[in-house]
């Protein structure tokens, strides 16, 4: 439950929610996530474990927990991951304990995971999960952004482009779809989704009962 705090959607205790953002690589999801985290003190990022090598500028514990394969498989076996999937040639997974602690403390958790992980979380979290799929405005734009990164080899770029159309086919499995034509507008759209989902009656039922009872002079 969220402690009392300023702002309409936080003043009444409610269950924390899980906000998933998925998209093909290069559709702008990382930029959107960072902007949300910067402006929203009630939102925290789930940091995944991965077996892939860090890209230049990436930090262990900030972008990912970079682990060797044996360690990853040990985590899977030990039930330490809330969901896990193979993406391209690497393994990815969401550490369970951090997410559970944050939700228990009434904080909302943001996930940057693929469609496979989203399906697994949906199966376990049900209506606590809110999923958003980010689409690029065009395939040419996606390719430009992937090349602009200049962090991956040509072969990797080509494979990611080939995978992009596969990944994009999963948009109907998501609650919301944002076409990222303008990043500021996309950020505002995801913020609106979060605001509306936080105000859902079913997430606030316990807090609202107490609130309304107090107003009606009942305890
Ligand atoms: P990248 O290697 O470019 O950081 O991520 C590749 C893909 O893996 C992205 O679509 C990203 O959303 C996904 N991904 C990152 N972390 C996880 C995770 O913990 N679980 C799942 N299922 N996918 C992840």
List, for residues 176-194, the tens digit of each pLDDT value: 999 999 999 999 999 999 9
pLDDT at 178: 98
- Give exposure, 150-187, as e/b (b: 16+ Cβ within 10 Å): eebeeeebeebbeebeebbebeeebebebebeeeeebb
Ligand 1 nearest-atom number relative to CA 49 = 19
- For 129, the 3-state DSSP assignment is strand
Residue 209 CA to ligand 1 center (angstroms) comes to 39
DSSP state of 138: -
- CA separation for the pair 34, 202 (Å, rounded): 28
Predicted confidence (pLDDT) at residue 5 exceeds the cutoff of 50? no
pLDDT at 6: 38
pLDDT at 217: 93
Q: Whose CA is nearest to atom 14 of ligand 1?
A: 113
pLDDT at 4: 36
Which residues does 38 contact at the CB level (< 8 Å), separation at least 6? Answer: none
- CA separation for the pair 181, 102 (Å, rounded): 32
pLDDT at 8: 58
pLDDT tens-place string over residues 65-107: 999 999 999 999 999 999 999 998 899 999 999 999 998 888 9
pLDDT at 150: 62
Query: pLDDT: is 95 or 159 the higher one?
Result: 95
Q: What's the rounded mean pLDDT across residues 44-64?
A: 95
* Percent of the chain whose predicted confidence (pLDDT) is above 70: 94
The CATH number that domain 9-46+108-215 falls under is 3.40.50.300
Q: What's the rounded mean pLDDT across residues 11-25?
A: 89
92 in contact with ligand 1, CB cutoff 6 A: yes
**In degrees, to the nearest 5, what angle opens at C-alpha 26 toward C-alphas 157 and 76?**
85
pTM: 0.91
Residue 208 CA to ligand 1 center (angstroms) comes to 37
93 in contact with ligand 1, CB cutoff 6 A: yes
Instruction: Report yes or no: 14 and 103 within 8 Å, Cβ to Cβ.
Output: no
């Amino acid at each position: 439950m969220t402690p009392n705090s300023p702002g309409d959607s936080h003043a009444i205790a409610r269950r924390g929610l899980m906000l998933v953002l998925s998209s093909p690589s290069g559709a702008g999801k990382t930029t959107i996530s960072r902007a949300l985290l910067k402006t929203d003190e009630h939102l925290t990022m789930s940091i995944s474990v991965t077996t892939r090598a860090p890209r230049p500028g990436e930090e262990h514990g900030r972008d990912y927990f970079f682990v060797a394969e044996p360690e990853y498989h040990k985590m899977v076996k030990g039930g330490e991951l809330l969901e896990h999937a193979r993406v391209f040639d690497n393994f990815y997974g969401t550490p369970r304990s951090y997410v559970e602690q944050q939700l228990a403390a009434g904080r909302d958790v943001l996930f940057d995971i693929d469609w496979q992980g989203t399906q697994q979380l949906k199966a376990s979290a049900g209506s606590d999960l809110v999923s958003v799929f980010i689409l690029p405005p065009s395939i040419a734009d996606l390719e430009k952004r992937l090349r602009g990164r200049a962090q991956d080899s040509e072969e990797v770029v080509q494979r990611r482009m080939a995978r992009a159309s596969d990944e994009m086919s999963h948009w109907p499995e998501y609650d919301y779809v944002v076409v990222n034509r303008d990043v500021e507008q996309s950020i505002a759209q995801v913020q609106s989704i979060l605001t509306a989902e936080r105000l859902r009656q079913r997430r606030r039922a316990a807090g609202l009962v107490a609130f309304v009872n107090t107003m009606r002079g009942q305890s």
